[in-house]
């Protein structure tokens, strides 16, 4: 299906041409002061085939705040650590409401709809806090191993900036605690969660790290011992829940499992073939990167490489 003769460099250039009318649309996230300082016109993409070929364009090597994309790494780690028991504390259904809604949490008595909304990610973080020796160092090492870059770090300035204003996430954490769905102190869980979100990676590093989900092979990393079946299921989760209340739209237009972050990044995979990461800070009203969504839509429609 993937044609090794396709000129992917040319394909990427063609995509960027078609993106031109969309440049400058949307706003970057400004609720975290530090994120508002990023140049909103950055754009990078990195397409990494499992056979080793990699194609990039633009600011593909510049690191940015991966934010909610970290939820894929933490969910993978927690799933590896405690297995199916994870799904007793967090569901696997699309949310139908914005990523930081308390409504659904109330209706469903403290069980978040999925691990990719904030409430779910806080529960996942609580699992890691209880099951890792050093939840700060161990998660960072996991991401470093996946991407092959030992210089990946938390951004302490982003952490501090976010801790000052994370009122809604603090509300979510306390609310989960009130339902008995956090073992640790809400503010401690929140602090760890914000660290995970603050991890900085480049498109190329992200694409490399997502090979895990494209390959679905057992990991060599120590921490999370993930089976191919588990990795398939994480792909399914990304497909149905990766883009908040725009997950249907992304699935409809792009047709790949993926995950977005308010830093403007999106990572996605075409199982058995490639992973791809794109970055552009300007977001639509649902909190997803406008150019990122469009670039991936063009990539799958032009290459014919989608799962459907």
Q: How many residues at the interface with a copy of itself, by CB under 8 A?
A: 54
Taking the complex as a whole, the smallest distance from the CB of residue 98 to a copy of itself amounts, in Å, to 10
Q: How far is the CB of 271 from a copy of itself (least distance, A)?
A: 5
Q: Which residue's CB is nearer to a copy of itself, number 255 or number 261?
A: 255
Residue 209 CB, shortest distance to a copy of itself, in Å, is 18
Active site positions, annotated: 68, 71, 193, 244, 262
186 part of the interface to a copy of itself, by CB under 8 A: yes
Question: 64 vs 116, which CB is nearer to a copy of itself?
Answer: 116
**47, β-bridge pairs:** 55, 276
**CB neighbours of 217 closer than 8 A, spacing ≥ 6?**
228, 231
Q: Which of 87, 125, 119, 123 is nearest to 106 (CA)?
A: 119
Comparing CB distances to a copy of itself, the nearer of 62 and 249 is 249
Among 183, 240, 273, 302, binds a copy of itself (CB under 8 A): 240
Interface stretch with a copy of itself, choices 46-54, 127-135, 150-158, 163-171 (CB under 8 A): 163-171
Which residues, 203 to 232, sit near a copy of itself by CB under 8 A? 216, 229, 232
Per residue, the 3-state secondary structure of the chain, as one string, reads CCCCCCCHHHHHHHHHHHHHHHCCCCECCCCCHHHHCCCCCCCEEEEEECCCCEEEEECCCCCEECHHHHHHHHHHHHHHHHHHHHHHHCCCCCCCCCCCCCHHHHHCCCCCCCCCCHHHHHHHHHHHHHHCCCHHHHHHHHHHHHHCCCCCCCCHHHHHHHHCCCHHHHHHHHHHHHCCCCCCCHHHHHHHHHHHHCCEECHHHHHHHCHHHHHCCCCCCCCCCCCHHHHHHHHHHHHHHCCHHHHHHHHHHCCCCEEECCCCEEEEEECCCEEEEEECCCECCCCCEHHHHHHHHHHHHHHCCCCC
Mask: binding to a copy of itself, 107-146, rule CB under 8 A, as x and -?
Answer: x-----xx--------------------------------
* Stretch in the footprint of a copy of itself (CB under 8 A) among 17-25, 34-42, 43-51, 244-252: 244-252
* Residue 39 CB neighbours (<10 A): 9
| For a copy of itself, the closer CB: 102 or 149 | 102
* Part in contact with a copy of itself (CB under 8 A); list of ranges 71-79, 152-160, 164-172, 196-204: 164-172
Q: Which of 124, 237, 266, 295 binds a copy of itself (CB under 8 A)?
A: 237
72 vs 124, 147, 266, CA distance in Å? Answer: 10, 14, 11
Residues 251-290, interacting with a copy of itself (CB under 8 A): 251-253, 255, 257, 271-272
Question: In terms of CB distance, is 80 or 186 closer to a copy of itself?
Answer: 186
Q: Does 172 bind a copy of itself (CB under 8 A)?
A: yes
Site of interaction with a copy of itself (CB under 8 A): 1, 91-97, 101-107, 113-114, 167-168, 170-175, 177-178, 186, 216, 229, 232-233, 235-237, 239-241, 245-249, 251-253, 255, 257, 271-272, 301, 306-308
């Amino acid at each position: 299906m993937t044609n090794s003769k396709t000129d992917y460099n040319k394909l990427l250039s063609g995509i960027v041409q078609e993106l031109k009318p969309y440049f400058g649309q949307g706003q970057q996230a400004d609720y975290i002061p530090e994120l508002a300082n990023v140049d909103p016109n950055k754009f990078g993409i990195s397409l990494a085939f499992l056979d080793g070929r990699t194609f990039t364009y633009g600011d593909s090597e510049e690191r940015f705040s991966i934010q909610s994309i970290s939820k894929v790494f933490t969910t993978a780690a927690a799933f590896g650590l405690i297995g199916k028991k994870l799904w007793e504390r967090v569901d696997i259904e699309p949310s139908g409401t914005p990523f930081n809604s308390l409504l659904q949490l109330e209706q469903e008595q403290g069980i978040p709809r999925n691990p990719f909304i904030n409430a779910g990610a806080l529960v996942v973080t609580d699992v890691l806090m209880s099951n890792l020796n050093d939840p700060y160092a161990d998660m960072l090492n996991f991401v470093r191993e996946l991407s092959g870059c030992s210089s990946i770090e938390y951004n302490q300035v982003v952490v501090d900036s976010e801790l000052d204003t994370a009122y809604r996430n603090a509300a979510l954490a306390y609310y989960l605690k009130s339902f008995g769905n956090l073992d640790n102190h809400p503010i401690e869980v929140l602090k760890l969660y914000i660290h995970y979100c603050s991890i900085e990676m480049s498109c190329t590093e992200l694409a490399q790290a997502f090979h895990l989900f494209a390959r679905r092979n057992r990991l060599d990393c120590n921490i999370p011992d993930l089976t191919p079946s588990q990795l398939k299921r994480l792909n399914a989760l990304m497909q149905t829940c990766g883009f908040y209340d725009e997950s249907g739209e992304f699935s409809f237009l792009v047709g790949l499992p993926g995950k977005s972050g308010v830093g403007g990044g999106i990572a996605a995979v075409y199982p058995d073939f490639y992973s791809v990461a794109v970055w552009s800070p300007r977001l639509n009203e649902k909190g997803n990167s406008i150019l990122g969504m469009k670039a991936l839509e063009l990539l799958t429609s032009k290459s014919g490489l989608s799962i459907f």
